[in-house]
Structure 1
């Protein structure tokens, strides 16, 4: 379990980072439309319960990116559609929920003379859950998944063919540090270690 003080410190750092990233004026905008595979990288073991795991899911993940004037820096805001997520206990479906993973990263683009532009990014992310529905042995039990804030990293590339004008394609991989607190009414509470790796592919358009 995270202590309340550690949670507050982490939340404050993430909010400050998001504010810093969004405070500067941008030179250009880029809209990205793609799909992502969200793959949790950790399982959670709870004494007396067993192995609890969030399943991998697919999601529609558009984003908006702002490029700063005369630099290789930008900020990108991931605006994913609501994700339906399943959680299993010892391999058996136990919980379904919806969540949003808004993520903002500050990025550096390795500009060169080709249409292939690699980039890296660092920022903050959130896990906002609702509509928790229990299944199997937890049917009828109230389960609440709390919001969580964490750090996020990103590496990828954008490719724009010479004859494509403003259009391009992108591919990237993100890692998010997320362990939301789960409360099972009158039973237990624990941190669900998700820490997902997100693989994205799609189209980009730069204004």
Structure 2
């Protein structure tokens, strides 16, 4: 009996050694290990759709040459905050290095403050394409923070004066009857992160700061020329979804 059992075990062992090993490639798809969410990404194109809050700094300095020294009015304007939909497109040269372009337009109202409190100055639209070079940190798994720096060029369009007469604390009755803002370049910095839900889809949070200013020209009461500068310096705070191709 013992001899027969030993013979059977020996035969089974030889048969097992004779079987060709099965590789992972030979397994049915259902038995293959899934791709990890935090697996390294080879790079390529990426798009994001975000809600973007644009928070300009409230500082407009005006100069009214016709009034001489009395016509220098510092910090007499403010620009409204706005929230818009925004699209950005990125290209990853490597898993760590990417170039991002943001696209969106923002409407803003400009009002007086200080010596011009209560005055409706006008409104304008901004088209602020911003290009940044980014470094993405890929050693935190699905959480992928990044930093970036680049350049912005802001176009001001559909700018119009309020043409509304107001008595301001300065003691004058004023209406802004003409208004212009000059396009300008600005440096930009950013910080943010993507949290990838899988290899293609994630959520994003992003903050940018632009050192943006613009020369202002205006006319008061159809007669008095005004020049000045607005330091918009907007903070851009956005959140949305990421898709990688």
Matches within 5 A, 1:73-92: 73-80=97-104, 82-90=105-113, 91-92=117-118
Deviation at 1:42? 4.2
Structure 2 equivalent of residue 33 of structure 1: 49
Q: How does 1:45-124 map to 2 (within 5 A)?
A: 45-46=61-62, 47-48=72-73, 51-69=76-94, 71-80=95-104, 82-90=105-113, 91-92=117-118, 93-124=120-151
The yes-or-no answer on 1:142 pairing with 2:178 is: yes
Residues in 2 aligned to 1:45 and 1:134: alpha-carbon distance in whole angstroms: 17
Flag structure 1 segments of 5+ consecutive residues without an equivalent: 1-25
Q: Does 1:188 align with 2:213?
A: no
Q: For 2:122 and 2:58, how far apart are their aligned partners in 1? A: 17
Task: Indicate the SS of the match to 1:195.
Answer: coil
* Structure 2 counterparts to residues 121-200 of structure 1, below 5 A: 121-135=148-162, 136-137=164-165, 141-161=177-197, 164-185=198-219, 186-200=224-238
User: Residues 84 and 67 of structure 1: is their aligned pair in 2 closer, same or farther, counting only changes over 3 Å?
Assistant: same
2 CA distance for matches of 1:202 and 1:143? Answer: 35
Structure 2 length-normalised TM: 0.68
> Structure 2: which 5+ runs fail to align?
1-41, 63-71, 166-173
CA shift in 2, pair 1:57/1:68, >3 Å? same
- Would you identify which runs of 4 or more consecutive aligned residues in structure 1 move more than 6 Å? none
User: Which deviates further from its counterpart, 116-125 or 43-52?
Assistant: 43-52
Query: Which region of structure 1 is more displaced relative to structure 2, 179-188 or 46-55?
Result: 46-55
The more displaced of 140-149 and 96-105 is 140-149
2:59 and 2:75 in contact (8 A); partners too: no
Q: CA RMSD in A?
A: 1.9
> Do the aligned residues in 2 keep the contact of 1:127 with 1:180 (CA within 8 Å)?
no
Preserved CA contact (<8 Å) 2:60 2:74: no
Give the Cα separation in 2 of the matches to 1:190 and 1:170: 38
For the pair shown, which has the larger CA radius of gyration, 1 or 2?
2
Shift of 1:165: 3.6
